[in-house]
């Protein structure tokens, strides 16, 4: 099958007329981002390592999951627990097992991180709905508060434009993948709309690795005359999936289990998630804009862990609701003829949750309600024509209300609360070098409050650990972005951060605890080169030193964080055809829970992919081969101190994707 795919690529390359077109730089410095300041700002004016992934770049890669999109980004380590889009973690600047809680995800500015230990559910955002993705690396708590200690990823959705159009497509491939979708978009006068419904079904790489999901997603906007715009987004998601479990090094080495086998063949999980998001934007004057966002989300998950394998039975249900109110004012008013932009606002979130756990000696009901509010202000001032000064501050307060009942009567009920407050600030200087680049320095502090599952565990005594402290950081970033010509450019950012009270799971006590001190330092670098019109080379390298700083663990590496990552991609545009060959190297790393660095490291791996995208009139045909050289590797692994054993979650071997899409415009 691989040979046939290569023959198809050779056919396209040889027999299609070669009229290559110039490719735009993916690092256009005049591009506008909103994530860096919570207002539209040119990348060249941002004193931080910020990048954009456009919808065209996503199309070129021929990917179907957001996890695959982020794998090529410097400073980011993306991994999948089960080899499918359901359990995918995106780790900005190396937090290992706690990555989902230390990287903030937004969809058009709406927070999508859960208040518990759940992974951000990336499969709920259909690829076809994405206009672009903005990535901010480094502490952004001053702007966004909780979860933003490592960075922020903002997924911006397409808006309906032009005449009504209908999009229909289907993707198929390895592991019985069946992924149809149907959508409509357009703009009629002041009203715009974009609607998409899709399903995703696969048997998965491993046994009991199946996934079945359905999504409906809608984005609507109405612009009233003169000054008011209303934006409405809503979505519905359901899924059902298998949980194949990890495989031990001994089981794999002796052949007790094959890489595709499941150690837990009867464990299952399911999700239902609904949200509605309404925003009103008022243009009060030429220099003042006020927006008010309100959102509601309800998420229900349940798991069944069967006792047939290890004798442990556990059924768990989690229900979360989140109500938010986020008013904001933006003022673009010169100060003594100096260009100035001020953004200020309040973020309020109320999140009640309910947990029901039963089995293996546990039978409990737990209600944890989290209330959080934060006030923030950020200012961008040109103190000279090419010198920009920025400063921001946030004050945040959070309260957790605990209500725990042990239905067995073994433990006393708990009715208590915990209050925490933190502030964060940042200052930066950014010097703009003509229109070709900029040099910046940025100092920021950040924080992360514990999530509900870090306070609570049904298997620990006591079940609620009220002694957890928020995780804090102080970090400095220095970087440069520069385009030598239209066809050649590069960026380099160095950072150094000192962390305190980083939160981790202690498998010996079944509770979460605080590390003393940790530190992270590293380099993130990229280079693009349009070798000839139509042929582009992209390179990325990340060096990251994440270690414990003091106490008995001094000098040990933080688990699941590789020191090196390298990416390379060749993209060749030939009229309507784009071919992309990409390669990713991820260095070795210690496994989750190996804080003493006592076990052998997980070996590094190199994975190569090949994709082809062909467009003709309203058709788009996508073909891809993932893991071309059939590498056997694991993106995720964990150690057990109880069994003194390493456990792996095997990643898929060579696999294929074929997609057909048609867009009809009325």
| Greatest Cα pair distance in the chain | 77
What is the C-alpha separation between 606 and 521, in angstroms, rounded?
A: 24
What is the C-alpha separation between 99 and 153, in angstroms, rounded?
A: 13
Please report, for residues 582, 653, 655, the alpha-carbon distance to residue 627 in angstroms, rounded to integers and kept in the order given: 10, 6, 7
φ, ψ at 11 (rounded to 5°): -60, -50
pLDDT, position 47: 93
pLDDT, position 285: 92
Cβ pair 427, 476 in contact under 8 A: no
Q: Closest Cα to residue 210, out of 202, 198, 222, 218?
A: 202
* Cβ partners under 8 Å of residue 408, min gap 6: 361, 363, 364
DSSP structural state of residue 74: T
The whole-number average pLDDT for the span 71-84 is 89
14 pLDDT tier (thresholds 50, 70, 90): very low
- Percent of the chain at pLDDT > 90 equals 74
Alpha-helical segments (H) within 62-205:
66-70, 99-102, 141-144
Antiparallel, parallel or unpaired: β 619-626 and 517-532:
unpaired
308 pLDDT tier (thresholds 50, 70, 90): low
What does the block give as tokens for 5?
Answer: 């795919």
What does the block give as tokens for 208?
Answer: 């009991």
Q: Closest Cα to residue 186, out of 224, 227, 220, 223?
A: 220
Q: Enumerate helices (H) and strands (E) in the chain, giving the number of each.
A: 7, 36
pLDDT (tens digit per residue) in 537-587 = 999 999 999 999 988 889 999 999 999 999 999 999 988 999 999 999 999
Antiparallel, parallel or unpaired: β 177-188 and 387-406:
unpaired
What is the C-alpha separation between 183 and 200, in angstroms, rounded?
A: 15
Which element (helix H / strand E) includes 82? none
- Percent of the chain at pLDDT > 70 equals 94
For the beta carbon of residue 254, count every other beta carbon within 10 angstroms: 9
641 pLDDT tier (thresholds 50, 70, 90): confident
Cβ pair 522, 495 in contact under 8 A: yes
What is the C-alpha separation between 583 and 566, in angstroms, rounded?
A: 8
pLDDT (tens digit per residue) in 182-235 = 999 999 999 999 999 999 999 999 999 999 999 999 999 999 987 899 999 999
Cβ pair 606, 585 in contact under 8 A: yes
Per DSSP, the three-state class of 399 is: strand
Please report, for residues 230, 252, 411, 639, the alpha-carbon distance to residue 597 in angstroms, rounded to integers and kept in the order given: 53, 22, 36, 10
What superfamily would CATH give domain 19-665? Answer: TonB-dependent receptor, beta-barrel domain (2.40.170.20)
Which element (helix H / strand E) includes 14? helix 2-15
Cβ pair 59, 75 in contact under 8 A: no
φ, ψ at 101 (rounded to 5°): -90, -10
Cβ pair 503, 473 in contact under 8 A: no
pLDDT, position 13: 38
Cβ pair 477, 494 in contact under 8 A: yes
Which element (helix H / strand E) includes 223? strand 211-223
What is the C-alpha separation between 660 and 646, in angstroms, rounded?
A: 41
What does the block give as tokens for 423?
Answer: 């502030």
pLDDT (tens digit per residue) in 353-408 = 999 989 876 788 999 999 999 999 999 999 998 999 999 999 999 999 999 898 88
Per DSSP, the three-state class of 90 is: strand
């Amino acid at each position: 099958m691989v040979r046939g795919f290569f023959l198809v690529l050779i056919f396209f390359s040889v027999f299609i007329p070669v009229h290559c077109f110039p490719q735009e730089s993916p690092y256009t410095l005049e591009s506008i981002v909103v994530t860096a300041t919570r207002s539209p700002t040119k990348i060249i004016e941002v004193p931080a390592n910020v990048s954009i992934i456009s919808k065209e770049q996503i199309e070129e890669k021929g990917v179907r999951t957001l996890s695959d999109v982020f794998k090529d980004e410097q400073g980011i380590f993306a991994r999948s627990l089960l080899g499918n889009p359901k359990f995918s973690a995106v780790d900005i600047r190396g937090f290992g097992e706690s990555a989902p809680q230390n990287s903030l995800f937004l969809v058009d500015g709406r927070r999508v991180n859960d208040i518990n230990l759940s992974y951000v559910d990336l499969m709920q955002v259909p690829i076809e709905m994405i206009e672009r993705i903005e990535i901010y690396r480094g502490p952004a708590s001053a702007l966004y508060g909780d979860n933003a200690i490592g960075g922020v990823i903002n997924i911006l959705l397409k808006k309906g434009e032009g005449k009504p159009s209908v999009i229909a497509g289907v993707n198929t491939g390895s592991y019985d993948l069946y992924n149809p979708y149907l959508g409509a978009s357009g703009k009629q006068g002041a009203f715009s709309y974009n609607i998409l419904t899709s399903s995703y079904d696969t048997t998965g790489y491993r046994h009991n690795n199946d996934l079945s999901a359905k999504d409906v997603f809608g984005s609507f906007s109405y612009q009233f005359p003169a000054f008011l715009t209303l934006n409405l987004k809503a979505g519905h998601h359901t899924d059902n999936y298998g949980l194949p479990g990890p495989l031990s090094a001994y089981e794999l080495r002796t052949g007790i289990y094959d890489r595709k086998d499941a150690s837990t063949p009867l464990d299952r999980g399911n999700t239902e998630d609904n949200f509605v998001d309404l925003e009103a934007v008022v243009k009060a004057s030429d220099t003042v804009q006020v927006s008010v966002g309100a959102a509601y989300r309800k998420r229900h998950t349940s798991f069944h862990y069967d006792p047939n394998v290890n004798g442990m039975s556990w059924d768990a249900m989690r229900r979360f609701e989140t109500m938010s109110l986020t008013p904001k004012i933006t003022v673009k008013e010169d100060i003594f003829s100096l260009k100035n932009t001020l953004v200020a606002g309040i973020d309020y979130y109320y999140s009640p949750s309910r947990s029901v756990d039963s089995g293996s000696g546990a039978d409990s009901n737990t209600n944890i309600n989290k209330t959080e509010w934060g006030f923030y202000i950020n200012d961008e001032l040109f103190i000279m024509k090419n010198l920009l000064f920025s400063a921001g501050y946030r004050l945040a307060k959070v309260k957790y209300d605990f209500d725990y009942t042990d239905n067995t009567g073994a433990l006393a009920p708990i009715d208590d609360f915990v209050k925490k407050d933190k502030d964060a600030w940042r200052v930066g200087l950014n010097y703009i070098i003509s229109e070709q680049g900029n040099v910046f320095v940025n100092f920021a502090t950040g924080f992360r409050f514990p999530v509900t599952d870090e306070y609570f565990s049904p298997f620990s005594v006591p079940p609620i650990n009220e002694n957890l402290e928020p995780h804090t950081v102080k970090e400095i970033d220095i970087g440069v972005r520069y385009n030598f010509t239209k066809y050649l450019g590069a960026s380099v950012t160095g950072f150094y951060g000192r962390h305190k009270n980083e939160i981790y799971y202690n498998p010996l006590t079944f509770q979460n605890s605080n590390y003393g001190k940790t530190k992270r330092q590293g380099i993130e670098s990229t280079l693009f080169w349009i070798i000839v019109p139509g042929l582009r080379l992209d390179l990325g390298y990340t060096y990251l030193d994440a270690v414990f700083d003091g106490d008995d663990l001094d000098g040990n590496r933080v688990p699941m964080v590789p020191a090196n990552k390298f990416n390379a991609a060749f993209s060749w545009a030939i009229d309507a055809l784009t071919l992309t060959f990409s390669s990713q190297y991820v260095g070795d790393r210690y496994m989750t829970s190996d804080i003493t660095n006592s076990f052998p490291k997980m070996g590094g791996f190199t994975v190569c992919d090949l994709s082809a995208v062909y467009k003709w009139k309203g058709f788009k045909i996508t073909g891809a081969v993932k893991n071309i050289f059939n590498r056997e590797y694991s993106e995720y692994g964990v150690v057990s101190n109880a069994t003194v054993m390493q456990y792996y979650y095997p990643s898929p071997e060579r696999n294929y994707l074929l997609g057909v899409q048609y867009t009809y415009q009325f």
